[in-house]
Amino acid sequence: MRMILLGVGTAVPDADRDYTHMVWEAPDGLVLIDAGGSVYQRLLRAGVDPHDLRAIVLTHSHADHLNGLPGLLFSLKLAGYDRRLPIYGNMPTLAAAQHMLEAFELEEHQPVIEWTPVEAGEEIELEGAAYRIHTAPTVHSRPCLALRFSSNDGRALVYSADTEPCDAVRNLAHRASVLIHEATTPEPFPGHTSPYQAGEVAAAADVARLVLVHYSPRWTMSADRAIAETRAAGFTGEVEIGREFASYALPPVQKHP
C-alpha cells in the first residue's frame, strides 16, 4: 500500500508542480484524493490504471482541488469504465461538485456516482479493504477533511489537506510513518501552514517522515530553506519536498527477536 503524489503545487501552479492531489494504491484498487488538473493523464503517468479507481475522496470545495473532476469522469466513461464510483466528502464539498458536473452537462458520459457524505471525525469504510480511512477536521477557509490511512497492523500515513496548524490534525498524525503536510506560506497565515509550522506539527505528532506539499519555491520559499525551517522547528525525522509521481509506502512491520 502506498500514496502516489500526482500534484504537489499550490493554487497557482508552477511549471513542474500542478495542483496538489494524490492517489492511494492498494491491492483492492485506487482511492483518489482530490481531483485537480489533468487527473486521468497523471494516473497514467504514475503507472496506475484509472480503471482501478474504486473511490474518490474530496477534501474540500476550493477550485484547485475540484477542477479536474468533470474531465476525469468524462474520460473514464469514454474509456469504458463501467463500475459505480463512490465519491466521499463533506456536504458542502459534494454539493459544489454536483453543481459543477451539472454545469458541464455530462449526462450519460460519466460513470454512475454514489455521492457519500462523510463528516469530520467519521471513518470512510470501503468494503474488503485491508486498511481504514479516518477523517479529522482541519482549520481552513472552507470545511475540509484531513485523512489517515491505517493498515490493520497499525501502520499509518496521514494527509493534512489544507489547514493551519491545529490539534485535530496533530492528533490524527500521532506516530504516523508518513505525514504529508501542506506548506503553502512563508509565514503563518489563516487557513494555511508554513514550513516551520509543518515541522512543529510533525515533531509534536512524533511522525517518522514529513513530506511537504501544496508548496511552491516561488510563492513559499526555496526548498533548502523550507527543509531548514522544519529542522529549526524541532523536527528530527526524515523530511523532504514532495515531488510529483513520488510514492510513499507504509514501511514493513518491524519484527523483534
How far apart (Å, rounded) are the C-alpha atoms in residues 110 and 158? 30
C-beta of residue 1 within 8 angstroms of C-beta of residue 10 = no
- CATH classification (class only), 2-246: alpha beta
Q: How far apart are the first and last CA of the chain?
A: 25
Q: DSSP letter at 195?
A: H
Name residue 128's amino acid. Answer: G
Nine-digit cell string for 102 = 451539472
CA distance 169 to 87: 22
Q: What averages of pLDDT result for each successive group of 10 residues across the chain (257 residues)?
A: 97 97 96 97 98 98 98 98 97 98 96 97 93 97 98 93 98 98 98 98 98 98 98 98 96 61
Tell me if 241 sits within 8 A of 35, measured CB to CB.
Answer: no
Q: Which of 162, 54, 12 is nearest to 43 (CA)?
A: 54
Q: What is the pLDDT of residue 256?
A: 45
Question: In Å, how far are 53, 121, 242 from 41, measured between CA atoms?
Answer: 14, 32, 19
Gap between the Cα atoms of 129 and 145, Å rounded: 20
pLDDT at position 152, please? 85
Query: Given this model, what pLDDT does residue 208 score?
Result: 97
pLDDT of residue 251: 81
Phi, psi of 18 (to 5 degrees): -85, 180
